[in-house]
């Protein structure tokens, strides 16, 4: 008569558990579940059914592996030579796993602290950049206010009195200058006051007018291109040198409207040479995008606004975009406008 043996699947079906659960019983209690025949599939001895049923019930009662082994020793035969993994070895593996988990937890904590430090530094840089922009704006306002408050041209000046002989003239004091703007705004009119002495009549004042060049402004003031520049079709150059535009020949102004974040600051313009303008778009408190446009003519004779280059400026770095990155940005705008 052939001895009844069981595979892992047989035991799982008879006990109402998964095949993986049965394999875990064999891994935890190899001395009580000896192999009757090696091969595929592995077959276990007939008593494996009762042993697995008992293990299932003991685990259901909340017993640990050590307590379950003690109970099995009192009811079933143990085959020490069939042990695959001893209890000390299993405990050693558990200890090693706990150590690795602890090291991983510490590494995650360190990484989180470093990220928090980096976020704090970025916030500080953003605050400093905002403060610097505010200071520049205040200086520009003061400069404009000082120009508006400049004194008007002097009233008709009195005719200079004839000068006395050299023996009666004391050393003249340092000249005093008074400035006012001319209508063109390119030069400044200055009145030079010269004091002379005429015997008992006292001091007489005379003035000499002069025109001097206006000093250069401390900061470049934002400007705005003409409407015909903003209405030019926005284009880029392909790798082969072709001009690529937006659907329907969308303009430079329309391109900037799509690229400017909602509720963000309006784009700032600066002259960048003849027929060229630099546009600055604020993406975040510490991040801006710069687009350089140039008025040019295509081989077909069409006037267009060509994007010459694009840069991304952060609090600590300026990155020049590659031609592929410019083309990718343009493709995203084309998809949005299509």
Give the pLDDT confidence of 273-331 residue by residue, as tens digits.
Answer: 888 999 999 988 888 999 999 999 999 999 999 999 999 999 888 999 998 899 998 89
Q: Which among 85, 107, 141 is the end of a domain?
A: 85
Contact, 109 vs 102, CB < 8 A? no
Q: How many CB atoms lie within 10 A of CB 168?
A: 11
Q: Phi and psi (nearest 5°) for 266?
A: -65, 155
pLDDT confidence band for 168 (50 / 70 / 90)? very low
d(CA 56, CA 183): 102
Q: Pick the closest to residue 295 from 324, 280, 310, 273 (CA basis).
A: 273
For position 76, which CATH number holds? 1.10.1660.10
Q: Mark which of 85, 116, 134 sits at the end of a domain.
A: 85
Number of domains comprising the chain: 2
Domain housing 233: 227-337
In a domain, 124, yes or no: no
CA dihedral 65, 70, 72, 78 (to 10 degrees): 100
- Residue 269 in domain: yes
Decide if 68 is inside a domain.
Answer: yes
- Boundary of a domain, candidates 50, 85, 120: 85
Mean pLDDT, residues 142-156 taken together: 70
């Amino acid at each position: 008569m052939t001895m009844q043996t069981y595979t892992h699947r047989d035991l799982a079906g008879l006990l109402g558990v998964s095949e993986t659960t049965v394999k875990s019983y064999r891994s935890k209690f190899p001395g009580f579940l000896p192999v009757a025949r090696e091969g595929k599939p592995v077959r276990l001895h007939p008593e494996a059914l009762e042993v697995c049923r008992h293990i299932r019930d003991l685990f259901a009662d909340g017993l640990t592996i050590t307590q379950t082994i003690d109970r099995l020793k009192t009811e079933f035969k143990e085959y020490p030579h069939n042990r695959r993994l001893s209890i000390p070895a299993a405990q050693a593996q558990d200890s090693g796993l706990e150590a690795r988990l602890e090291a991983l937890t510490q590494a995650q904590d360190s990484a989180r602290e470093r990220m928090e430090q980096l976020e704090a530094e970025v916030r500080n840089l953003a605050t400093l950049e905002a403060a610097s922009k505010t200071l520049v704006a205040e200086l520009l306002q003061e400069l404009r206010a000082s120009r508006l408050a400049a004194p008007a041209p002097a009233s008709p000046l009195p005719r200079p009195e004839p000068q006395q002989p050299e023996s009666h003239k004391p050393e003249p004091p340092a000249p005093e200058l008074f400035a006012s703007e001319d209508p063109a705004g390119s030069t400044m009119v200055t009145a030079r006051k010269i004091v002379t002495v005429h015997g008992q009549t006292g001091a007489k004042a005379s003035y000499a007018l002069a025109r001097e060049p206006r000093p250069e402004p401390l900061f470049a003031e934002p400007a705005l291109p003409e409407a015909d520049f903003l209405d030019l079709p926005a284009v880029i150059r392909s790798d082969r040198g072709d001009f690529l535009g937006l659907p329907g020949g969308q303009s430079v102004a329309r391109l900037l409207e799509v690229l400017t974040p909602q509720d963000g600051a309006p784009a700032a313009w600066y002259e960048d040479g003849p027929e060229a303008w630099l546009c600055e778009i604020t993406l975040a408190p510490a991040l801006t995008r710069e687009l350089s446009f140039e008025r040019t003519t295509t081989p077909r004779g069409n006037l267009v606004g060509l994007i010459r280059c694009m840069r991304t400026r952060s609090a600590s770095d300026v990155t020049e975009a590659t031609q592929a990155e410019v083309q990718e940005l343009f493709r995203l705008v084309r998809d949005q406008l299509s």
